[in-house]
């Protein structure tokens, strides 16, 4: 084994082999893969090898498309067959809700160029005669589904990488990782040491253990997974290879395997494997079968596919593979650890391995993944993902793999975990809570405890009228919202203003003022949107998206000078409440000595005040788009602040409101939000944030790309729409049609109660953005007329925010 390499990839499963291949393809030849045993010695060797393009996250779906297309390329380079069988697949719906879900999945696939089709049960039966059509209501057909040979794929990647210059060392275990002062790594193995500039943790079943070598606890857990192969079936003799099928109700996937069928389940009673530590002596081993556990799924399977019952079981495979809490991979550089990369938690290696390898290699070589990989970024998790939290969420995710998650459905595992001091007080007001980064926050308030439950639905739910009443309170009187679930950073030091001016696209506000600012990457794309609150010359409170805290910190770390400025995350040190509505000023004025008149404390002001007995930062700003204030206090004061606002607010008609009402109101103002309207695939002018980009500044990150975008106008435009929808609103990811063609996609949607209309925000090509008509938005399979808005639906002049 060589003693130095630019990159050491730890792990020779399908993911490590793909990363290795993609690094050579991107031009890095001095790369070494170290594998403990033979290639495929983790989850890979016993996988069922199924692959498909459909994924809840369109950006992950794109990378899945890429993976499937890649197999031809690596077969050609390596001469190694991947054993690709493209059979096509059907997803079977037994309920109307599932059929609606399929229609939505088909619609999402439209703008990704997927050729999905909703078919009747009769058509489905023709394609897949093993099904008993009496159990189903309809199906979706996908021509690009199939399966591969896991051994063949891994070796095809590995050989292609070797042809490209990579080296692979087998039967060598990495036992420790030690970082040198310059950020490079000593990779300690039982066969000698290697000095590497970069290390990639692609250790699959052992990724947690490799993470622990560098002091991190990666949120992944292995689950046992079983599939069985039937005996040969006369029904298959002389027939074309059967399609892949997913039967959601049975939690079953099924495909042909030689003369029989392979059937796997994601059973409700899923069992984790090696919950705390994965044994190093586990190799190409299987776990004992437990057919009892999957019996309920098998029973449904035998009813739905009767020929299987008489075929008999030839073989059962029970093997472990890893999941992150949301079931998507964990990739990218790890905050605080220079040159340490992860590519793990990949639960669908044969659909996703290629895309993971591509994105990670680009990230390493070019400094940017080249695609929107937020849904897979390791930085989407933070300190709350303890071992037990991950355990609870992974079990839940596994057991719900084939369940529908409704847009208003809040999953229950690992809750409540994090709460603010007013949690019980809000519960007493009949709050229905959601969890965000493990933190409970109110979504809406029911009139009674008995009604404080969401009836899950793709349509407007039981919460609709109550959310409407909350919006009316904000429109006509005053509402109170808990805003603790925002991310916060304290930027301090003499270099604060200069550094922020370099990192943010907008100018840094003067002391006592607030400025909104996009944060751009070097390519001028949006990687954040912040509220900068200038506390003092050398002190700014930055407020942004909490879920992106690690993502932002990783970026800040890269840019911070050795001295003069520091950035400290303080999300849970400052918790907050917002009061909004025409009476919010009078309410707050009754509690503070400072003059809150517009002349003395205008829109976008920020100041330390005493609110009753509570010391607070008060900003005159509100995401509701009307008159409003955000109040930030240290956690110990939140109860007192809440009590005094609620007490004083009684005479002003105060009413608590939640995140659902806020979402509706921000849509009425066409205000975007991170991960929906603002993502690294959009530029600031495309996203309508041009007014927050200060091109008068000579230098800031992304300036030249932003200037070019301003000049060219960019390729896309974010538009607001009023949608002719009656009982269901757009949610996000629906296609936008124009003149009979899919031209764009919805990023968010909701009913705007203050304007009495269904609203959506979405991106369309700049060339069609000026059209005044001809738009439609597809909601649950139905194309609804959509009228593009010239400005915000509510208070387009913005006068109300400034009164
Ligand atoms: C029963 C079953 C059925 C499945 N069916 C499908 C399917 O149909 N479709 C699909 O896409 N996916 C399927 N999967 C999931 C699939 O197997 C995984 O997504 C994939 O194998 C993950 O690959 P990996 O490279 O991340 O991890 P692994 O395969 O676990 O590879 C990690 C490698 O790293 C090595 N390693 C670990 N630590 C060290 C160290 N310290 N030093 C050196 N080497 C080390 C290990 O020996 C191992 O070879 C299935 C899994 C199971 C268990």
Give per-residue pLDDT as tens, 376-390. 999 999 999 999 999
Q: What is the pLDDT of residues 384-408, one digit of tens each?
A: 999 999 999 999 999 999 998 899 9
Is ligand 1 within 6 A of the CB of residue 44?
A: yes
Q: Give the residue whose CA is nearest to atom 27 of ligand 1.
A: 204
- Partners of 264 in the beta sheet? 227, 253
The CA 366 to ligand 1 mean position distance, Å, reads: 27
Helix (H) or strand (E) holding 316: strand 313-323
- Distance, CA of 702 to CA of 39 (rounded, Å): 42
Residue 226 is predicted with a pLDDT of 96
Over 80: is that where the pLDDT of 79 sits?
A: yes
With H, G, I as helix, E, B as strand and everything else as coil, classify residue 781: coil
Over 90: is that where the pLDDT of 61 sits?
A: no
112-138 b/e with 16+ CB inside 10 Å = b?
bebebebbebebbbebbebbebebbbb
The CA 13 to ligand 1 mean position distance, Å, reads: 5
Is ligand 1 within 6 A of the CB of residue 311?
A: no
Q: What's this model's pTM, rounded to 2 decimal places?
A: 0.96
- Distance, CA of 426 to CA of 419 (rounded, Å): 11
C-beta atoms surrounding 246 within 10 Å: 25
- Distance, CA of 168 to CA of 175 (rounded, Å): 17
Best mutation site among 21, 34, 44, 191 for ligand 1 pocket (most ligand atoms within 8 Å of CB): 44
Q: 110: pLDDT confidence band, cut at 50, 70 and 90?
A: confident
The CA 346 to ligand 1 mean position distance, Å, reads: 8
Q: 59: pLDDT confidence band, cut at 50, 70 and 90?
A: confident
Is ligand 1 within 6 A of the CB of residue 49?
A: yes
Closest ligand 1 atom to residue 348 Cα is 11
Best mutation site among 1, 9, 10, 11 for ligand 1 pocket (most ligand atoms within 8 Å of CB): 11
Question: Across residues 287-306, what is the average pLDDT?
Answer: 93
Rounding to the nearest 10 degrees, give the CA dihedral for residues 126, 401, 663, 424: 150
- Distance, CA of 659 to CA of 418 (rounded, Å): 17
Is ligand 1 within 6 A of the CB of residue 174?
A: yes
Question: Across residues 725-735, what is the average pLDDT?
Answer: 95
C-beta atoms surrounding 183 within 10 Å: 12
Residue 285 is predicted with a pLDDT of 87
Closest CA to 373 of 789, 620, 680: 680
Question: Across residues 165-178, what is the average pLDDT?
Answer: 98
Question: Across residues 92-98, what is the average pLDDT?
Answer: 95
Q: 58: pLDDT confidence band, cut at 50, 70 and 90?
A: confident
Instruction: Tell me the percentage of the chain whose pLDDT exceeds 90.
Output: 95
Over 90: is that where the pLDDT of 113 sits?
A: no
- Distance, CA of 17 to CA of 633 (rounded, Å): 50
Residue 473 is predicted with a pLDDT of 98
CB-CB contact of 734 with 778 (8 Å): yes
Is ligand 1 within 6 A of the CB of residue 148?
A: no
Sheet holding 539-545, edge to edge: 514-520, 526-536, 539-545, 486-492, 566-569
CB-CB contact of 762 with 716 (8 Å): no
The CA 14 to ligand 1 mean position distance, Å, reads: 7
Q: Give the residue whose CA is nearest to atom 35 of ligand 1.
A: 11
Best mutation site among 204, 278, 317 for ligand 1 pocket (most ligand atoms within 8 Å of CB): 204
Closest CA to 19 of 332, 315, 278, 250: 332
Torsion sign over Cα 768, 772, 773, 776: positive
DSSP-derived pairing of the beta strands 439-445 and 431-436: antiparallel
273-288 b/e with 16+ CB inside 10 Å = b?
bbeeebeeebeeeebe
Q: 29: pLDDT confidence band, cut at 50, 70 and 90?
A: very high
With H, G, I as helix, E, B as strand and everything else as coil, classify residue 432: strand
The CA 203 to ligand 1 mean position distance, Å, reads: 8
Residue 278 is predicted with a pLDDT of 96
Closest ligand 1 atom to residue 204 Cα is 27
Closest ligand 1 atom to residue 43 Cα is 29
Omega of the bond leading into 416 within 30 degrees of 0 (cis): yes
Is ligand 1 within 6 A of the CB of residue 184?
A: no
Best mutation site among 349, 354, 402 for ligand 1 pocket (most ligand atoms within 8 Å of CB): 349
Mean pLDDT is lowest, of 60-69, 456-465, 712-721, for 60-69
Is ligand 1 within 6 A of the CB of residue 12?
A: yes
Over 80: is that where the pLDDT of 56 sits?
A: no
Over 80: is that where the pLDDT of 661 sits?
A: yes
The string of DSSP letters for 192-239 reads EEEEEEEEEE--GGGHHHHHHHTT-----EEEEEEEEEEPP-GGGTTS
Best mutation site among 35, 245, 321, 322 for ligand 1 pocket (most ligand atoms within 8 Å of CB): 321
The CA 275 to ligand 1 mean position distance, Å, reads: 17
Closest ligand 1 atom to residue 345 Cα is 26
The CA 150 to ligand 1 mean position distance, Å, reads: 10
- Distance, CA of 642 to CA of 638 (rounded, Å): 6
Over 80: is that where the pLDDT of 3 sits?
A: yes
- Tally the residues of the chain: 803
Is ligand 1 within 6 A of the CB of residue 121?
A: no
Q: What is the pLDDT of residues 686-721, one digit of tens each?
A: 999 999 999 999 999 999 999 999 999 999 999 999
Over 90: is that where the pLDDT of 436 sits?
A: yes
Q: What is the pLDDT of residues 231-259, one digit of tens each?
A: 999 999 999 999 999 999 889 999 999 99
Residue 485 has φ and ψ, to the nearest 5°, of -85, 30
Mean pLDDT, the chain, integer: 96
- Please return the burial class of 312, using the count of CB atoms within 10 Å of its CB with bins 0-12, 13-18 and 19+: exposed
- Distance, CA of 434 to CA of 660 (rounded, Å): 10
Give whole-number Cα distances, 667 to 78, 97, 662, 722, in Å: 51, 26, 9, 10
- Distance, CA of 525 to CA of 703 (rounded, Å): 10
The CA 404 to ligand 1 mean position distance, Å, reads: 26
Cβ neighbours of residue 539 under 8 Å, at least 6 residues apart?
490, 491, 492, 496
CB-CB contact of 638 with 645 (8 Å): no
Residue 60 is predicted with a pLDDT of 85
- Distance, CA of 18 to CA of 204 (rounded, Å): 13
Give whole-number Cα distances, 366 to 185, 360, 362, 423, in Å: 20, 10, 5, 45
- Distance, CA of 218 to CA of 784 (rounded, Å): 44
Tokens standing for residue 340: 């340490």
Tokens standing for residue 550: 């690690």
- Distance, CA of 438 to CA of 417 (rounded, Å): 6
Tokens standing for residue 615: 């010391």
Over 80: is that where the pLDDT of 141 sits?
A: yes
Closest ligand 1 atom to residue 50 Cα is 8
C-beta atoms surrounding 502 within 10 Å: 16
Instruction: Please tell me what DSSP assigns to residue 291.
Output: T
Question: Across residues 224-231, what is the average pLDDT?
Answer: 96
Q: What's the per-residue H, E or C state across 528-595?
A: EEEEEEEEECCEEEEEEEHHHHHHHHHHHHHHCCCCCCEEEECCCCEEEEEEECCCHHHHHHCCCCCC
Residue 111 is predicted with a pLDDT of 80
Instruction: Tell me the percentage of the chain whose pLDDT exceeds 70.
Output: 100
Residue 120 has φ and ψ, to the nearest 5°, of -75, 170
Closest ligand 1 atom to residue 38 Cα is 49
Is ligand 1 within 6 A of the CB of residue 170?
A: no
Over 90: is that where the pLDDT of 284 sits?
A: no
Is ligand 1 within 6 A of the CB of residue 188?
A: no
Q: 108: pLDDT confidence band, cut at 50, 70 and 90?
A: confident
Over 80: is that where the pLDDT of 579 sits?
A: yes
Q: 339: pLDDT confidence band, cut at 50, 70 and 90?
A: very high
- Distance, CA of 247 to CA of 304 (rounded, Å): 8
Is ligand 1 within 6 A of the CB of residue 50?
A: yes
Closest ligand 1 atom to residue 224 Cα is 53
Give whole-number Cα distances, 564 to 491, 537, 558, 569, in Å: 10, 13, 15, 17
Give Cα 24 distance to the centre of its chain. Answer: 29
Return the half-sphere exposure (C-beta side, CA atoms, 13 A cut-off) of residue 68. 23
Over 80: is that where the pLDDT of 538 sits?
A: yes
């Amino acid at each position: 084994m060589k003693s130095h390499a630019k990159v050491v990839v730890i792990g020779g499963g399908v993911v490590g082999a793909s990363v290795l291949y993609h690094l050579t393809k991107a031009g890095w030849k001095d790369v070494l893969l170290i594998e403990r045993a033979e290639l495929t010695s983790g989850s890979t060797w016993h996988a069922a090898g199924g692959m498909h393009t459909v994924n809840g996250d369109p950006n992950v779906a794109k990378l899945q498309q890429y993976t499937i297309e890649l197999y031809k390329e690596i077969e050609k380079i390596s001469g190694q067959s991947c054993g690709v069988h493209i059979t096509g697949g059907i997803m079977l719906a037994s309920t109307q809700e599932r059929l609606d879900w399929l229609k939505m999945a088909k619609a999402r696939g439209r703008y990704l160029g997927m050729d999905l089709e909703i078919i009747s049960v009769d058509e489905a039966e023709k394609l897949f005669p093993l099904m008993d059509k009496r159990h189903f209501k309809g199906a979706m057909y996908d021509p690009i589904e199939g399966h591969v040979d896991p051994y063949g794929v891994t070796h095809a990647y590995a050989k292609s990488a070797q042809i490209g210059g990579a080296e692979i060392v087998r039967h060598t275990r990495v036992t420790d990782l030690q970082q040198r002062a310059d950020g490079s790594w000593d990779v300690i193995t039982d066969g000698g040491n290697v000095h590497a500039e970069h290390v990639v943790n692609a250790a699959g079943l052992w990724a947690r253990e490799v993470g622990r070598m560098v002091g991190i606890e990666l949120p992944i857990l292995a689950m046992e997974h079983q599939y069985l192969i039937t005996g040969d079936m006369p029904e298959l003799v002389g027939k074309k290879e059967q399609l892949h099928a997913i039967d959601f109700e049975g939690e079953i996937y099924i495909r042909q395997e030689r003369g029989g069928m392979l059937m796997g389940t994601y059973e409700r009673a899923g069992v984790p494997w090696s919950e705390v530590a994965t044994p190093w002596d586990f190799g190409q081993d299987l776990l004992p079968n437990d057919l009892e556990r999957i019996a309920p799924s098998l029973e449904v399977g035998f009813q739905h596919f009767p020929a299987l019952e008489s075929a008999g079981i030839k073989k059962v495979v029970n093997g472990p593979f890893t999941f992150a809490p949301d079931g998507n991979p964990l990739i990218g550089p790890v905050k605080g650890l220079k040159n340490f990369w992860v590519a793990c938690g990949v639960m669908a290696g044969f659909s996703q391995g290629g895309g993971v390898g591509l994105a990670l290699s680009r990230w390493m070589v070019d400094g940017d993944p080249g695609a929107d990989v937020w849904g897979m970024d390791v930085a989407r998790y933070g300190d709350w993902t303890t071992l037990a939290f991950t355990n609870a969420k992974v079990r839940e995710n596994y057991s719900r793999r084939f369940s529908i998650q409704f847009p208003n459905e809040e999953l229950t595992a690992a809750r409540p975990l994090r709460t603010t001091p007013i949690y019980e007080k809000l519960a007493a007001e009949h709050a229905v809570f959601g969890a965000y980064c493990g933190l409970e926050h109110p979504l809406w308030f029911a009139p009674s405890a008995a009604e404080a439950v969401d009836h899950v639905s793709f349509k407007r739910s039981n919460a609709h009228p109550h959310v409407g009443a909350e919006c009316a309170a904000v429109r006509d009187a005053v509402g109170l919202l808990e805003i603790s679930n925002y991310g916060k950073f304290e930027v301090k030091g003499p270099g604060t203003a200069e550094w922020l001016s370099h990192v943010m696209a907008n100018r840094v506000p003067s002391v006592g003022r607030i400025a909104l600012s996009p944060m751009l990457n070097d390519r001028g794309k949006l990687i954040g949107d912040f509220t900068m609150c200038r506390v003092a010359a050398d002190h700014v409170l930055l407020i942004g998206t909490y879920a992106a805290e690690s993502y932002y910190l990783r970026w800040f770390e890269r840019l911070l000078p050795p001295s003069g400025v520091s950035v400290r995350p303080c999300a849970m040190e400052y918790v907050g409440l917002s009061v909004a509505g025409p009476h919010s000023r009078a309410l707050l004025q009754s509690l503070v000595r400072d003059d809150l008149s517009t002349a003395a404390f205008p829109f976008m002001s920020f100041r330390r005040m005493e609110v009753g007995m509570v010391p607070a930062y008060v900003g005159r700003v509100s995401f509701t788009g009307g008159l409003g204030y955000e109040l930030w206090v240290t956690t110990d004061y939140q109860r007192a602040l809440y009590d005094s606002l609620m007490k004083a607010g009684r005479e002003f008609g105060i009413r608590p409101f939640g995140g659902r009402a806020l979402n509706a109101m921000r849509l009425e103002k066409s205000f975007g939000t991170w991960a929906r309207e603002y993502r690294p695939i959009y530029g600031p002018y495309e996203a309508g944030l041009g007014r927050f980009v200060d091109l008068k500044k000579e230098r800031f990150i992304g300036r030249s790309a932003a200037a070019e975008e301003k000049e060219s106008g960019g390729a896309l435009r974010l538009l607001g729409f009023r949608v002719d929808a009656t009982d269901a609103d757009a949610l996000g990811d629906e296609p936008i049609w124009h003149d009979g063609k899919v031209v764009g996609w919805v990023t968010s949607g909701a009913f705007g109660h203050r304007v009495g209309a269904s609203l959506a925000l979405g991106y369309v090509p700049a060339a069609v953005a000026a059209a005044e008509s001809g738009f439609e938005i597809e909601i649950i399979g139905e194309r609804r007329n959509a009228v593009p808005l010239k400005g915000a639906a509510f208070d387009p002049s913005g006068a109300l925010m400034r009164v």
